[in-house]
Structure 1
Amino acid sequence: MTAVPLAVVGDPAGRRVAHFQDAVRARGLPPARVVAWRTVLDGAARFHPGETVRIDSPGGDPDVERLLRGVSDPTRVEGTARWYRGFTEAVEVVAAAVAAAGGRLLTAPADLRVLFDKRLCHHALDRSGIPVPPSPTSGPGAAPVRGWPDVRELLARPGLRRTFVKPAHGSSASGVLALESGAGGRVRATTSVELSPGGALYNSLRVRRYEDERVIGAVVDALAPDGLHVERWLPKASQGGRSADLRVVVVAGRATHAVVRTARGPMTNLHLGGARGDLGAAVAAVTAAGGSWEHDALGVCERAAAVFPATLCVGVDLLPATGWRRFAVGEVNAFGDLLPGLTGLPGSPAAGLDTYAAQLAAVHASARQDHHAPLAAPLAARP
C-alpha cells in the first residue's frame, strides 16, 4: 500500500501508543511519529506536511495529568473542569498546527468538546433520536447541579429514585456514584471514590458502598464545582447472574468490535473488577427476545457514532435492558478502543483485526477517496 505519513499525539511510554505502533508495524508501514502531550502543552509541537494525525488519550503520564488538572496527585478525582479546559484548548492548538501543515486529524476538536462533556453528549444523542437514559441535567434549559441538596431533590422526582451521578468531564467511572434512595429517605451510594479523612477524593480500584448521607453529601459537594451529570439508572440485562452491558467500537461508521462486560454491581468497567462476558450468548439472547443483533444493538451504536461524523473511531457503551430487547446508549467514548486482543466482529470490515488495525485499514480506505470526506462515513452498507 502507499504509505500515509502518520503521527500520534499521546504518551510515548503508554500502552495505547504501543498498541497503535504494533498495528502500524504489522501493516508494513513506517512507524508513526509520536508527539508527546507534554510537548503540546509546552507549545513546542510541530507537524509535518501531509501527516494524518491520531489524537490519543493524555492519561497515563503523571506530569501531563498534573498540568491539565492542577493537582499534585494524579489519583485525585477533583479538577476535571480544569482538565477539560486545558485538554480542549490543547486540541485546538494541535488542530491549527495540523491544518497549517496541510495534514488531517482523525478526531475533530468540536467532537471532543462534546464527547468530554457528558451533559452536551447526552443532549446531542437525545436530539438525534438516540435512546439514552432520561436525564434532568442535559439540554439548554437544564439547571446546574450545585451540590448534594440539588441531587437530593432530584432523587425525589418520579423515576429518579435510582440514579447515576457522574462528573461531567470524567472518564473510566472516576467519581461516578450509583445512588439509590429508599424508604424513610435512606440513601446508598456505590462508587469507586475513596473519601480521605481530610475530605479529598481519590480514585480507587475497589468499588465500595456508602450509606451515611453525610459522607455521600460530602462526596457530591466536592464533585459539584467541576460539573455533574445526573441520569436515570436503567435496569440492565444479566448474564450468568451478573449485570451486563456492552462496549461497542465503531470505526468509520461501522460497528467493528464488541465486548460484553459483566459485574456483580452497577459498574461493569473492566478495570474495576468487571469481567468479559460471552458475546455469543448475548447475541443469542437478543435474538431469543425477538430482536436483531445487527439492527437493534449494533445499529444503535452506529447511529450514535454518526452524531460525530468527523471522528474516525468511538467506543459506545450500550445498555441492554432486562430481557435483551431494548437498548440505550450510556456514553460515547473518544478513547474507547483500548481492548487488547479483541478482534473484529465476523462480517465487519474489521474481521480478524484488532481495534487499531481496523482504524489503519479505514485510514487507508479514506486516503483513496476524498481527503475531506466525513471520517465516519460507513465503509459499506450494513447488510
Structure 2
Amino acid sequence: MSPAPPLVVVGNPEGRRVRLFRDAALAAGLPRPRVVPWLDVLRGGARLYAGELVRLDSPGEEPEVDRLLRDAPEPTRVEGTGRWYARFTAAVRGLAVEARAAGAVLLGDPEELAVLFDKRLGHARLRAAGVPVPPAPTSGAAAPPVTGWADVRALTEGPGMRRVFVKLAHGSSASGVLALETTAAGRVRATTSVELRADGRLHNSLRVRRYTTEREVAAVVDALAPDGLHVERWLPKATLGGRAADLRVVVVDGRATHAVVRTSRSPMTNLHLGGARGDLGAARAAIRAAGGRFEEALEICERAAAAFPGTRCVGVDLLPGSGWRRFAVGEVNAFGDLLPGLGGLPGSGAEGLDTYGAQIAALLRTLGLFGTPGPTPSDTAPASPALPTGTSTP
C-alpha cells in the first residue's frame, strides 16, 4: 500500500473539531495531521506545501478568530455576520490561491462554501436541484433584500406565511433566528434565543425567550437586517414523545452515514438551546407507521448533498412534516459533522466509525488506499471526486 499524502487541517488547534479529526486520522494509521490555525490564515501567515491534502474546518468556538472576522467586541453579540461572511469567504479563496501556488489540494470548493454560508443562495440551489424545501420569498440572488421589520411584516401577509422563520442569511447555530407568528388581528409573537438588551444591542443566549409586542420584534429584526435576512415558511414539524423533532443527517461523499434525531419543546431543536437527542429507532418506526421508508428520507439528504458536489461532507437538516409523512430540507451545513460519539448508520459502510472516521475512511478509498473501511456510495449517489495534484477543488 502506498503512503497517504500528508494531511493538513485548517482549524482552531485547541478546538474539539481538530481533536476529533486528528484522532480519526491516527486511528486509521495515518500520520498526525498538521494544523494550520485560522488565526494564522486571517493574519496572512498560513503556509501550504506541495502534495498536502488540506481540510477546512469551522472557524467557530475561538473568540479571537470570531473577533477578527466580525469585529465584535463581545463573543455573545449577534451582529456582524455580514462582515464575518465577507472576511471568511475571502480567507478561503485566499487559501485556494495558496494551495494552487504550492501544489497542495484543498478538499473543498471555495465557491460552494460561499453558497452554503448564504441561506438565500443555498435555498435557491436546493430548489433548483428539485430538493423539497420550505417556500421562501427571499430565496436566490435576485430576491429583493429584507431591509427591516416593514419588509418582514409585508412578507408575512403572503399566502401561507403567517408563521415564518426569520434567519440571518449568514448565521449558524440558531444565532439570530426568530420563529415568528402573526395573526389576522395584527398580533405578533417571536420565539428566539436573541436577547434584546436595554441599549438596543443583541446578544445570543442559551435561553429561548418570547417577544410578544410588535415594538420588541421590530427592534430585533431592524437590528439584524443590515447583515442580511432570509425568510421561509415555518413548516409544522413532526413530534416525538410530545416534542418537536427533526433530523441532522451527515452525508459523506454522497452517502448518508450518520443521523441524529433532535427534539425540543421550542421551535429551535439545536442541542445547545435545550434540545435533546431523540430515539432514532422511534423516529424510524414513526416513518414506517406513516407508510414511509427511512431510506427515502436519507435519499432526500443525499440529493441535497449532491447539489454541492465539490464539498465532501455536509450536515443536512431534514424537517419531517407532522405525521412523519413528508420531508423538506431546512439547510445544508458545511460544518455539520460535530456529533461526538455518534456511530454510523447500519448499511452505510460507516458502522463503528464516528463522522470524522467516516470522512477519513472515504478519503482513503478515494486515494485508493483500502486499508480501512469506509462509506461505499449507493447506486444513486455521485461518485467520490478525484483529487488531482495541485488543484484547489477536488
TM-score, normalising length from structure 2?
0.93
Q: Deviations over 1:174-205 (max 9, x none)?
A: 00000001242100000000111111101111
Alignment-mate amino acid for residue 114 of structure 1: V
Relative distance call for 1:110 and 1:378 in structure 2 (3 A) is: farther
Pick 1 or 2: higher relative contact order, CA cutoff 8 A, min separation 6.
2
Which residue in 2 is equivalent to 1:381?
Answer: 379
Q: Does 1:83 align with 2:81?
A: no
Structure 1 residue 352: deviation in Å?
1.1
- Give the conservation status (yes or no) of the 8 Å contact 2:348–2:376: no
Partners of 1:281 and 1:167 lie apart in 2 by 32
Partners of 2:222 and 2:74 lie apart in 1 by 20
Partners of 1:68 and 1:9 lie apart in 2 by 15
Which residue in 1 is equivalent to 2:167?
Answer: 166
Q: Deviations over 1:156-184 (max 9, x none)?
A: 11100000000000000000000001242
Which residue in 1 is equivalent to 2:318?
Answer: 318
Structure 1 residue 22: deviation in Å?
1.0
Which residue in 2 is equivalent to 1:279?
Answer: 280
Which residue in 1 is equivalent to 2:384?
Answer: none
Which residue in 2 is equivalent to 1:338?
Answer: 338
Structure 1 residue 4: deviation in Å?
2.8
Q: How does 1:73-222 map to 2 (within 5 A)?
A: 73-222=74-223
- Give the conservation status (yes or no) of the 8 Å contact 1:190–1:208: yes
Show structure 1 runs of 5+ residues with no match. Answer: 370-376
Alignment-mate amino acid for residue 341 of structure 1: G
Structure 1 residue 378: deviation in Å?
6.6
Relative distance call for 1:378 and 1:307 in structure 2 (3 A) is: farther
Partners of 1:323 and 1:300 lie apart in 2 by 18
Matched position secondary structure for 1:266 = coil
Which residue in 2 is equivalent to 1:22?
Answer: 23
- Give the conservation status (yes or no) of the 8 Å contact 1:136–1:231: yes
Which residue in 2 is equivalent to 1:45?
Answer: 46
Partners of 2:164 and 2:376 lie apart in 1 by 35
Structure 1 residue 330: deviation in Å?
0.1
Q: Does 1:328 align with 2:328?
A: yes
What number of residue pairs does the alignment pair up? 375
Matched position secondary structure for 1:184 = coil
Which residue in 2 is equivalent to 1:63?
Answer: 64
- Give the conservation status (yes or no) of the 8 Å contact 2:349–2:376: no
Partners of 1:96 and 1:345 lie apart in 2 by 37
Structure 1 residue 382: deviation in Å?
5.8
Q: Deviations over 1:214-243 (max 9, x none)?
A: 111000000000100000000000000000
Identity %: 68
Structure 1 residue 140: deviation in Å?
4.0
- Give the conservation status (yes or no) of the 8 Å contact 1:66–1:72: yes
Which residue in 2 is equivalent to 1:374?
Answer: none
Partners of 1:22 and 1:127 lie apart in 2 by 38
Q: Deviations over 1:257-289 (max 9, x none)?
A: 000000011000001000000101111111221
Alignment-mate amino acid for residue 360 of structure 1: I
- Give the conservation status (yes or no) of the 8 Å contact 2:206–2:272: yes
Alignment-mate amino acid for residue 124 of structure 2: H
Partners of 2:257 and 2:379 lie apart in 1 by 13
Relative distance call for 1:99 and 1:349 in structure 2 (3 A) is: farther
Matched position secondary structure for 1:243 = strand
Which residue in 2 is equivalent to 1:372?
Answer: none
Partners of 2:32 and 2:280 lie apart in 1 by 33
Structure 1 residue 71: deviation in Å?
1.4
Partners of 1:105 and 1:356 lie apart in 2 by 17
Partners of 1:231 and 1:380 lie apart in 2 by 32
Alignment-mate amino acid for residue 77 of structure 1: V
Matched position secondary structure for 2:314 = strand
Q: Deviations over 1:335-382 (max 9, x none)?
A: 00000000100000211100000000011011129xxxxxxx973426
Alignment-mate amino acid for residue 81 of structure 2: T
Partners of 2:380 and 2:352 lie apart in 1 by 18
Partners of 1:378 and 1:310 lie apart in 2 by 18
Partners of 1:359 and 1:379 lie apart in 2 by 13
Matched position secondary structure for 1:185 = coil
TM-score, normalising length from structure 1?
0.96
Alignment-mate amino acid for residue 364 of structure 1: L
Which residue in 1 is equivalent to 2:367?
Answer: 367
Matched position secondary structure for 2:61 = coil
Q: Does 1:291 align with 2:289?
A: no
Q: Deviations over 1:97-153 (max 9, x none)?
A: 112222222221011100000000000000110000000001243111000011111
Partners of 1:158 and 1:69 lie apart in 2 by 36
- Give the conservation status (yes or no) of the 8 Å contact 2:165–2:231: yes
